Structures are given as structure tokens and as C-alpha cells.
Structure 1
Amino acid sequence: MNYSTIKKTAIAASLVAALGYAENAQAQAQVFGGRSQYRTWSIGVQGGITTPNVLIGGQNAFGQQVGYFQNKVGEYYGLTVRKQFSHLFGLEVEANRGSIKTFNSDLASFEAGSGANGAGTARSAKTSVNWAASLNGVFQLGTIDFMRRENAINFYAKVGLGAMAFNPVQYANNDFTGAEVYNNKGKWGEEIFGDRERVGNRDYRLGMYVPVGVGVKFKLSEVVALNLGYTMNFTDDGLLYGNSAKSQYNQRFGNLYGGLEFTLGSKDKENLTFANPVANLYDELKDPSLRNEVEALKQRVSTLEGAVAILGTDTDGDGVSDRFDKCPNTPAGTVVDGSGCPILFPEAVVVEQAKAEKFSAIQFEFDSSVLKTSSYAELDRLAKDLRASNSSVLLNGYASSEGSAEYNVTLSQDRANAVKQYLVNAGVAASKITTKGYGDADPVASNATEAGRVQNRRVEIKL
């Protein structure tokens, strides 16, 4: 596979993948609670070495015969800034600088082009990379783990597009310190207009490159990870190692690196880079509040099944179907209106109000606003009455004396709101329900004993 094919394939793949992941990243993160519950920004520092070739092979323009060019190690270091969009994908800005080195083991195999010191035979070359910067798509390869709840090792692949400023220098010897046979520093950017020539004045040549790499991260703590990787860099330039007989071939180089990555944000939040969606799903399914909601739904289904069974029947025999009867259980022989309610004189109205049905207080566990399943029957009865009579209800929440006064007021309000939510789910209009939290005020029993405190953890119902 030649460079042009690799370049086009890498760019196309990176753009398609980045667009696809960016489009779905929000949806992916929302499945497991949204990105707001994670730390998604990180910075990294790295250092390593460069080689004038890559693992997949290919021609190196510095030389004409295979085997004549020997790898030399150059230094390479830089930093990264990454934004993780989901447990699968992130975007990274990477910046590096350093050098790339190589030398020719056959002195006669290479003739350098014109440079600072004229034409001559080059024995070695050193390319100084003043800066190289790229935007990379980073694809997490090992985030889903069915065996462990937390990932400590994460494999990744990356591909991107970048620009670099470099200057190659060719030498007549192998130690990169002898006579220079090629150095165009200060002359890059030369242009010719007809018979006029403008001499360039730049120290570095600008070029594009495509980084393609793989790596692995080891989680050292909730903040720090060890990052090891290898990147193949495919340039669009034949002068990466200076002028030569093969300068028409676009050049490449590899870099092997290691470094540390630091995740930014609150330590109370999980690092999205190492998040395991399977563990998150397990946690959500085991959430006690979710189980309570499931139990409440079961009770609601049971209630609805019973309501369907009696739909259209006239239980009290007053001539009005229960479906439309606003006053069920009317005593036999009572004169009712079209809604099934008794037609009463004012004195009779007073009597009916005096006989209004009372409802028991709803009890709660210590430091909890979750409804007990034992309260569902009473709440269903209350909901049925409120729907039938279209009455309003006041829910007063209370707490025992444990905890601060401020905390108890909040807890008692949460308890009243829990009862309200159940009634709303049962078909009672929210506008008919008023809630108020009174904390540990107005105890119905002594807070000196546990038995008394149990009675004080309640919501009272006032029609």
C-alpha cells in the first residue's frame, strides 16, 4: 500500500468516525447517566524516541538501496489535551517537537542535492522538528468489561491530521557534527515569478502529516494514568530528510513514547476514559430507589386491574355507573343527582362533613423518604376518595429529632413530596395537593424512645 492510499484512507476513516461518534456521543453517554457525572478533560505529557521508518515498511528517500539506511534514534517530546465524549471516543490535540535521525551505511549510494554547502555525498541526516501539532480522534478499544466492575487497563487507537515545521540537515559523516552538505535553513519559501526569483527567508519548511497510532493506558489512581504508545507519521513531503534522488516519495517516521495523563475535575466523579458501561448498568439495576419504584408500579398495575374489573358497574345501586359516580357507596334509598351524589339540605351537608372519612398517617423508615409498600393500600384508598370527591388535600411531613433542625425540615418535605408523587401517579390532580415540611416539630410521641421516634417519622393527611 503506497503512501497516497494510506493517507486518503486514514483521513477518510478519521473524518467519518469522528463525525459518527460526535453525533452519537451524547446519546451514548446519556444511556449511562450523562457526561455531567464524569470527568471528561485530561492533559498529558510525553516523551520518547523517533525512527526514520514505520512498522509497515516503505521506502525512505534518504538512500536508494534497501539496507543502506540505518535507523538512528532521535528524541521526541510534547503534550496532549483531550476531551472524552463517551466511553468509546474522544478528541485530542497533540503537540510535539524533537528530531529524526538516520545515516547511510554505503557512502556511494546517495548523492545529496544542492544545499548550504553545495552538492556532495551525504552520510547522515538529522531533521529538526521545530513543532508538530495534530487533531486526533481517539477510539477506546477495551472499555466494556463483563468480568470486572472497574477498568485499570485501556487500549486505544488514534488517527488524525496535523501540520509540522521542520528543517533537515545532511552531513558528510555519521555523527551529525561534521561538514554539512545540505542545509536550507533561512531559505525555505523560495519562489520564482517568470524571470524573477524571490529567495525564501524561513528557517523551517511547513508540511502536513497523518498520525496513525495505538497505545495502552494503565490507571495508577483516580487522577493519574500511565500512557504508552506508538505512532506512525505519514507526511506529504519528499524533503523530510533533505534533497535526494528519491525526493518524489512522500516520507514517514515513527515515534515510540511514554508519559503521564492527568484527568481534570472533581475527584468525586468517575473518569469517563476508564468508565465501564456494564458496571454502570449493574449499579442502576441494583439501585434501591429503582426497586422501590418497580414495587410501586406493581401496586399501581394491581389497582388498575381492579378498577377495570368494576368499570361500568353500579356498586351502590343508586342508578349511576361507578364510572361516573362521584359519590360512591351512597346508602340505599338515597336520592342522588346525575353525578351519583346525594341531594341534601344544608343541615344534612353539615352531617355529611362531620362523617368525613379519616386517613392514617403514612410512616417512614429512619432517615428515609422512600414509601413503604405497606402504605400503598392506604394511599390508593386516599387517591380513590380524592378523585371521586374532587377534594383538596394537605400533606404535612414530620421527622424524629435525630439530625439538625435544617436537615429534618428538608427530610420532612421530601416525605410529603413522596406521598404527593404517589397520588399524582394514581390520577389525582397535582393542583389539588399541598405539601409542607415541619421537621421535628409537633411530635405525636416522645423522641426519647425509639418507639416514639418511629411514630414521629410520618406524613399526616388533612382533607
Structure 2
Amino acid sequence: MKQNLMRCLPLAFSALLLGSAVQAQDKTASQLSTWSIGVNAGVLSPISPLGGKNDFSNWKSDLGYGLYIKKQLTPYFSLRLDGVRGKLKGDNSEPFDSGVAITGPISGFETSLEYSGSLNAVVNLFNISMFNNNSAVQLYASGGAGLAGYKVKTSTNGGGLADYAGGKTISELIIPVGLGAKFKVAEKVNLDLGWTVNFVDGDNLDGTYRGSNDKYNYAYAGLEFSLGQGKQLAWHNPVALTYDEALKAKQTADALKGDLDAQKAENARLKAEVGALSTDSDGDGVSDKFDKCPGTPAGIVVDGSGCPLKVPVPVVQEKVIITEADRKVVADAIKNLEFDLGKSTIRAKSHATLDRVAALLVEKNFSLKLAGHTDNTGSAALNKRLSKDRAEAVKGYLVAKGANPSRIEATGYGLEQPIASNKTAAGRQKNRRVEFTLF
């Protein structure tokens, strides 16, 4: 058993690292501090209040000290690698409480605990409060297994101490079981009070065989220091965090619902405006909203205000000259044109550049072709309709700013004419566009 334990103990630290790797997959825990180290000092004594026989009637307390490294896997559970050193002493200078005196050649002992290493599972015991993310006091229980190495000296009939077993270091399996309490004194520092009973797999801790395994206990006080950034996972309350996240999610949902209702109202208003702009009762090419002469007979040539031309004007084919400045106005409008996701609603940030395009069309009487395109997300029919609606929305906006509707053509091509690959987000962004062509 001892040989197997000695093979396993070097893997204890690997177990801590493995626990860290598993826990790293937890997003919430990865934002909290999970590693810590502790130092402590206290009293070592060669007895156990949990029962069993003591080999010597007069046990003595002596100084012990230790350190540990701990990996907190969840708020409730951790793995801790402990090390303790110190001395254990006792003699038969007085009888047991029962009045029975101890007889035998060995009258006293002194054991030097050269090393004591154990891997312990620690379970935190604390009340969960729905409204507190972190507590300040907690109880814990621990249990594990390890290896202790010690040298024993014994005295005979009150004489001086002599080496036991030739002064060799004896190694035995130990089973530590303990309780403790922690108090958070700072964000990264805890006061640690604990008590551990160590059961030894042997009856040679005090150099005397009396038919039962030996044991010793260690009562200590120390400080634990949290490593890394973030609050300590050991003090973290996931139930309260879940409550907070649910509350935040509800608040976000309420805010989004308000935004959605406001957007629906805005869409209805814009739809009404676009409908008014597209209505041409007399069919003269000028919408009713801008038609100053409604009811014009069919076939009558009208001007931009919808009124008949009093004198036939010969058609003069003017040469259209488009300058680089004109092209830049259109390019800026294309670059800044944005719609709400999956809709034909033009966002307010696009209005300024569209206003400059409308002014250009009014000033120079250019013709404009609007071609709407989409990526391949969704059905072909839906994309066809969406691209057409977006082109019409741009036309409606320009006409509302005074552009001649008869000189603006709006067409939707859907996903038929991509300019980039639809396999990447960047490519799909390029394909969602409305092209402006001046002529």
C-alpha cells in the first residue's frame, strides 16, 4: 500500500492542474480567482478525541507548522495539497484517567515529523442567500490521504532519549479528516482556523506497539492568500449570480421590447409616407403629394409639378456631363447607406448623404438607377422582395426631397448578382447593397 501511495502522491499536483483545465471551460468560473496558497501554525498532539487507545498516559502538545496550495473547482468543492511539520511528545509520568498505570520498558517518546504530505478534498458548508453574491464566513470539512515520514526517539525508565529503529525515517500512510472555518478579512486574504485528525496506518509513531494504530491531531490558525485576478470563487454564490443575470435579462428584454414598439411605429409612419409618395391618381408621373395640377388627362405632357406644358417644347437631347464630384456624392451615399436588419427601413445616419444625392438630381436633372442586392441568407423570393423594397425606399426618400420620380428607376435583384463570396460574413456584408448609377 505504501509503495502504491508513493507512486500516486507525485500525481497529486497533476490532479490540481487537471481540475484547473476542466474548470477553465466554465466561463463564469474563469472570471474568478481559483488558486490560493496558505500558511499556518498551531499545536501538534499525539492523541485523537475521536476514540481509540492512547499508548501514553501523558500526551504533550508541541509546535506544528504547515502550508498548502489549493485549487477551487466550484464554490463548494476544492482540492488541497497540504504539508505539515513539527514534533509529537508523550510519556507515562502519570496514570491514565481510569487510574491504570502503564508498565513497560518505554517511558516516553519524541517524534519528529520530518514531512507530511496529503491531497485532500475540501467541501465548503455555507448558507446560500438569494441576494448576496459573496459571504464573509464559511465552514468546511476535509478528508484525504497522504504520506508521513518521521523519526522516533524513545526513553527507557525515565532515562535519556535514544533513536528508535536505528534513527531511520519511517514512512506511513495517513488519512487526515478535518473541520475548519474561514473568515474573509480582505478581498484576497482569509483567516483560516482548522483542526485535523490524522490516522496513521501503523503503530510505530511513538515507538511503542499496543495493538492499535496511532493517530495525532493538528489544531492551527493561518492565512490564505488568493492568487490571480478577480474575486475568490470559494466565496462566490452562483445562485445569487443566476438571480442577478435573470434580472438583468428581464431588464434587457423590457428595453428591447420598448425599442421594438418604437421601431414598429416609425416603420408604420414611413410606410404611410412611402405610400403617399407612390400614389399617382392621374398617371402623369408626378405623385399626388407633389402634383399641383391633379386630374391631368392621359397623354398630356406635364412639367415637374404635374401641370400641362402650355407651349409644346421641342425635345432637346442634352449631353449629360457627370463630374468626379458628382460621382463622389453618389459613392458617399452608397458607402453610408444602412437599413435595419431584414427590413427596408433606412437608418437616420444615412439621411445626410442621401440629401446630397437628392440635391444633385434636382440641380442637374440627372437620371438615376437604383439596384437593390442581398446576400444568400433566406429564400430567393424573400431576398428578391427585400431588395426591391429597399430600392423603392431609397427612391421614395429622394422623391420626398424633390427629385423627379420619372427619372429614378428602382429594381431589386435579390441574391442573383453577388460581388463577393457569401461564405464569409465580410462577403455577405458587401453583397447587401443598393447600387446608384447616374446617367
Residue 128 of structure 2 aligns to a residue whose secondary structure is coil
Say whether 1:79 aligns with 2:88: no
The 5 Å alignment of 1:297-376 reads 359-361=346-348
The 5 Å alignment of 1:62-461 reads 62-63=55-56, 69-104=57-92, 105-106=94-95, 109-111=101-103, 120=105, 122-142=106-126, 144-146=128-130, 148-172=132-156, 178-180=159-161, 183-184=163-164, 186=166, 203-244=168-209, 246=210, 248-266=211-229, 269-287=230-248, 291-293=251-253, 296=256, 359-361=346-348, 387=383, 389-391=385-387, 432-433=428-429
CA distance in 2, matches of 1:223, 1:236: 37
Q: Deviations over 1:80-110 (max 9, x none)?
A: 0001111011111001110112221149944
CA distance in 2, matches of 1:173, 1:144: 57
CA 276–264 in structure 1, closer or farther in 2 if over 3 Å, else same: same
Residue 212 of structure 2 aligns to a residue whose secondary structure is coil
CA distance in 1, matches of 2:150, 2:345: 87
Q: Deviations over 1:65-89 (max 9, x none)?
A: xxxx123102111100001111011
TM-score (norm 2): 0.54
Say whether 1:46 aligns with 2:30: no
Q: Deviations over 1:270-325 (max 9, x none)?
A: 110111113312331233x6632465479889x9xxxxxxxxxxxxxxxxxxxxxx
Counterpart code for 2:44: T
Say whether 1:36 aligns with 2:30: yes
Residue 326 of structure 1 corresponds to: none
Does structure 1 retain, via aligned residues, the 8 Å contact 2:133–2:236? Answer: no
Q: Deviations over 1:131-158 (max 9, x none)?
A: 0000011111116233634211111111
Residue 279 of structure 1 aligns to a residue whose secondary structure is helix
Counterpart code for 2:70: R
CA 109–362 in structure 1, closer or farther in 2 if over 3 Å, else same: farther
Does structure 2 retain, via aligned residues, the 8 Å contact 1:359–1:461? Answer: no
| Gap regions ≥5 residues in structure 1 | 1-14, 64-68, 113-119, 188-202, 304-328, 332-355, 364-382, 395-428, 437-459
Does structure 2 retain, via aligned residues, the 8 Å contact 1:215–1:229? Answer: yes
TM-score (norm 1): 0.52
Does structure 2 retain, via aligned residues, the 8 Å contact 1:140–1:156? Answer: yes
Does structure 1 retain, via aligned residues, the 8 Å contact 2:23–2:30? Answer: no
CA distance in 2, matches of 1:147, 1:295: 23
Structure of greater Rg: 2
CA distance in 1, matches of 2:21, 2:204: 40
Residue 367 of structure 1 corresponds to: none
Residue 391 of structure 1 aligns to a residue whose secondary structure is helix
Residue 286 of structure 1 aligns to a residue whose secondary structure is helix
CA distance in 1, matches of 2:50, 2:21: 32
Does structure 2 retain, via aligned residues, the 8 Å contact 1:156–1:214? Answer: yes
* Post-superposition offset of 1:41: 0.3
CA distance in 1, matches of 2:110, 2:86: 10
